[in-house]
Structure 1
Amino acid sequence: MGFLKKLVPFALLGASLQGVALGADYPQEDVDSGKVLQQLGKTALDTALARLEGSTSGCTKENVRVRKEWRNIPGPERTAYANAVQCLMEKPNVYENVTGPRTMFDSFGVLHYKLTPYVHNSAYFLLFHRIYVWTFEEKLRTLCGYTGPMPYWEWGLDAGSVENSPIFDGSETSLGSNGEKVNGSNTFFPGGTGGGCVTKGPFVNYTVNFGPNTAADPLAYNPRCLKRDLNTPICSQWASLRNTTETILESPDIALFQANLQGDFRWPEARKFGFAVHGGGHFAIAGDPGGDFYFSPLEPVFYLHHGQIDRMYFIWQNLDWANRQTMAGTITMMNMPASRNGTLDDALDISPVGGNYTFRQLLDTVGDSPFCFVYE
């Protein structure tokens, strides 16, 4: 409880601020309601689509994929997405010499585990997770025949009740329910309403095969149920529409955008965001493995959460495209151990799960890159 109380004042600092982006002032009520975020998203979408005029990349207005918020996807397509994820949970693991991972879905957890010290609070955070989520989408399509949109989760729409979100309501068109209520289930963050095994809906029978990171051998076989501890206070405090919007509006450069998004206290300006939207989205789900920093991709909703992180990045980039194709930071988490600065020409090898790229190739979702997608 003490940790959360220490963070609360940072969030309250922003209560009376008006966001400023590209010289524009916005009424606080429009920031809080999501109206400004909607406007920023429309501007970013229009900017990205305009770059397709005369493009020779092969990405066109006719074939560009449009990523959508979960509740804007028709029920049958939501069900198809959940089925495709479950299909990946039946495809073989691609890593050798590990005992725990059994499936292609698990392989993404291994990749994240291995790269976590280099792709969080580092120069690589945003671009790594962009290619990571895209590679996951590609596996859904190529291995499991999924043809619908890649979903994201706009946390702020559920800041009043995560438990009633269409993602977590336990219906056939959800991604499963909250976990069974377990008293004292969450000792780090108060306010969780579950903590035990998911009780209904998709993934009720999903087996988490390995982890946690605290185990003697985190990659050893350790079968258990999927647990969730949904936490509305966390979502409301750190992942509201205000948090999301002001993170974008108050970030003039990539270094501060990353810091504000992750709550990186090394930047004084970022301290007002406290745990920030990245941590807020993760711990609004919490549980096991959702609350495990290394193994959170073994939680199916991870990909919707990081879809929203990438949506924020997409919006932020496209509000000032000419000046926002940059990288900042070192190549280790929190610069520990101390390391050199990352560059856009650094190589990223995510085999055997995916391909080999330079970070420069990952900047544009519609340009000379492996991507061809936008966010509605």
Structure 2
Amino acid sequence: MVTRRTILKASLALGAAAVFSGAIGGLSAFAQNTLRVRRSLHNMALNDPDLSAYRDFVGIMQAKNQKDPVSWLQYSLMHGAYNGNYRYCPHGDWYFLPWHREFVMMYENAVIALTGKKDFAMPYWDWSIDRVMPKAFTDQSYGGKPNPLYVSGRTLNTPNWPLPDAWVAPDVLARKVYAETNFQLFGTSKNPNQHNLDMSWVVKGGGTQGFLEGTPHNLIHNSIGAFMPTAGSPRDPIFMMHHSNIDRIWAVWNALGRSNTADMTPSDRNLWLNMNFKNNYLSPTGQLYSAYPRDLQDTKALGYTYPGLPTPDNLLSDPVRDARLLSLLAAGSTSDTLEVLRVLPAANKDAATLKAPLVKSVRFSASLKNQVMAQATESATQSDAAEVFAIIRDMAVGPDVSSVRVFVNAPALSATTPLDSAHFAGEIGFLAHPEAEGEHAGHQKTPPSALIELTDTVRDLAKRGLLTTDNISVQLVPVLREGAKDGAGATIIPASIEIVVV
């Protein structure tokens, strides 16, 4: 039986660039139907009809009276305000993917209405292939006129460019995104306190971010700068290309045979499927409208698809492993449960700073180490191979912090320790999250939490002979926002850090 735990990562990574990048395939597979096909910006001509329609649309919207509901500013304000508050957009909870799917469709439908291009499909920016922003968005002019897709003030000359392998490499996405079979671990988990369908839960956050939202999504937003790290991020035209790619990744995940709701409890299934995103969106005529996640699960039912979607890989879920992780992410786990799950607690009140990274250590017993180091094979049982995670909860993030980097047992760690260090385990980005507005006014965003997988790092360190003690240490180093300076705003204080072996 092949599950995520027993999958051979070398075989998963083999061909990952071809299977998961979206660079293969084409329109021929869809020539017999009327689905609109969202295509990659990779090698797309500057005068491609879809790209041209989007460019024209942005120009039309920017030229309108910005108090008009159908204008560039007013459309973006459904998401949130530049250097202000979020309105309806969810980050850090399980509504992140379906809400943004409809938000991209809102713009896609407006392009069709305003340009008359009935077969328009929103392109996507596959940053696993194109590690710098596409030329269509960086040229200041097009056709002898100002380019509506260009935004001044972007931060595209920092060390984050080209985008690093640790964030977006196809083999990294294969291991950390596509190999997950549980929706809440693939995307972001439910706020464990949610108990009803009140819409305030949508924007409140409070779930635990996994790799997809916390790393490529958040870090690319921050790396672009200008509007993108803020609630007003849709004012940058690249937003739609970025989120179209996030949407494509969800579509790929589903095409591999993963279910959004099959492993949810009936109560959770109701809370996810039937949440009303009431009046969160604007039609091309300026009318407010609503959407439900239950209607946003299948792109083909919504009238569009992506080229090169894979066929099911028959990777089975590991319900015991998934249940253990999800119970840890939930509130109110009992000490008995924690004992069964082999949690190694490391509560915290200290800050991670540039000069003094936060270090939390626990004893890593020989039996646990042996389970983590066991080679996973198809014949392995759950006791043969285990995984290691760090759960970093409720981080109080200083306003000058862009992300936190996580290392394991790194000697002489500093803010300049590179991402290709053998000790590097992951990085979580933080968008600017003041509080909510509109229907959600008064609902403060819950401090972010993150799930970081340490398994590969721990195994690699052991093979290299770099786990020389019985302790395993998780180390946090803050990364400053572009232009920020070290100081009081450059700290991260997580409420707790738990090292979990499941």
Question: Is 2:194 aligned against 1:227?
Answer: no
1:139 matched residue in structure 2: 110
2:94 matched residue in structure 1: 123
Among candidates 281, 284, 289, match of residue 227 of structure 2 = 289
Among candidates 283, 294, 300, match of residue 360 of structure 1 = 294
Contact 2:22-2:40 within 8 A present in 1 as well: no
Contact 1:255-1:328 within 8 A present in 2 as well: no
Contact 1:66-1:374 within 8 A present in 2 as well: yes
Q: 1:93, CA displacement in angstroms?
A: 4.3
1:251 matched residue in structure 2: 180
2:57 matched residue in structure 1: 84
> Deviation string for 1:60-103 (max 9, x for gaps)?
9521011000125343223333122212222344667xxxxxx6
Higher share in strand: 2
Equivalent residues in 2 for 1:1-376 (5 A)? 25=8, 27=10, 30=13, 34-38=17-21, 61-77=32-48, 78-93=51-66, 104-113=71-80, 119-146=90-117, 147-159=119-131, 162=132, 165=133, 167=134, 169=135, 174-177=136-139, 199-201=140-142, 226-230=152-156, 231=158, 233=160, 235-236=163-164, 237-259=166-188, 270=210, 275-286=214-225, 288-292=226-230, 294-320=231-257, 323-325=259-261, 342-348=271-277, 349-353=279-283, 354-367=288-301, 371-376=302-307
Contact 2:123-2:241 within 8 A present in 1 as well: yes
Separation of aligned partners in 1, 2:115 and 2:263: 34
Separation of aligned partners in 2, 1:291 and 1:300: 14
Separation of aligned partners in 1, 2:206 and 2:274: 27
Structure 2 gaps, min length 5 = 190-204, 308-502
Q: 1:23, CA displacement in angstroms?
A: 7.4
Q: Judging changes above 3 Å, is the alpha-carbon distance between structure 1 residues 207 and 81 closer, same or farther for their aligned structure 2 residues?
A: closer
1:211 matched residue in structure 2: none
Contact 2:17-2:170 within 8 A present in 1 as well: yes
Q: Judging changes above 3 Å, is the alpha-carbon distance between structure 1 residues 365 and 207 closer, same or farther for their aligned structure 2 residues?
A: closer
Q: Judging changes above 3 Å, is the alpha-carbon distance between structure 1 residues 24 and 92 closer, same or farther for their aligned structure 2 residues?
A: farther
Contact 2:90-2:99 within 8 A present in 1 as well: yes
Question: Pairwise CA RMSD of aligned residues?
Answer: 4.2
Contact 2:234-2:240 within 8 A present in 1 as well: yes
Structure 1 length normalisation: TM-score? Answer: 0.60
Separation of aligned partners in 2, 1:320 and 1:129: 22
> Deviation string for 1:139-168 (max 9, x for gaps)?
011022244431000001123xx1xx5x1x
Q: 1:119, CA displacement in angstroms?
A: 1.1
Structure 2 length normalisation: TM-score? Answer: 0.46
Higher share in helix: 1
Which amino acid is the alignment partner of residue 85 of structure 1?
V
Which amino acid is the alignment partner of residue 303 of structure 2?
C
Q: Judging changes above 3 Å, is the alpha-carbon distance between structure 1 residues 74 and 62 closer, same or farther for their aligned structure 2 residues?
A: farther
Separation of aligned partners in 1, 2:53 and 2:112: 11
Contact 1:88-1:105 within 8 A present in 2 as well: yes
Contact 1:112-1:297 within 8 A present in 2 as well: yes
Separation of aligned partners in 2, 1:23 and 1:134: 37
Match of 2:291, SS state, is strand
> Deviation string for 1:308-354 (max 9, x for gaps)?
00000111122225x3346979xxxxxxxxxxx94311211224455
Larger Rg: 2
Separation of aligned partners in 2, 1:105 and 1:227: 18
Separation of aligned partners in 1, 2:282 and 2:92: 24
Which amino acid is the alignment partner of residue 255 of structure 1?
Q
> Deviation string for 1:114-140 (max 9, x for gaps)?
655751111211000000001101101
Separation of aligned partners in 2, 1:93 and 1:342: 36
Q: State the identity %.
A: 20
Which amino acid is the alignment partner of residue 110 of structure 1?
L
Contact 2:79-2:87 within 8 A present in 1 as well: yes
Separation of aligned partners in 1, 2:272 and 2:207: 20
Which amino acid is the alignment partner of residue 365 of structure 1?
T
Structure 1 gaps, min length 5 = 1-18, 50-59, 97-102, 178-198, 209-224, 330-340
Match of 2:37, SS state, is strand
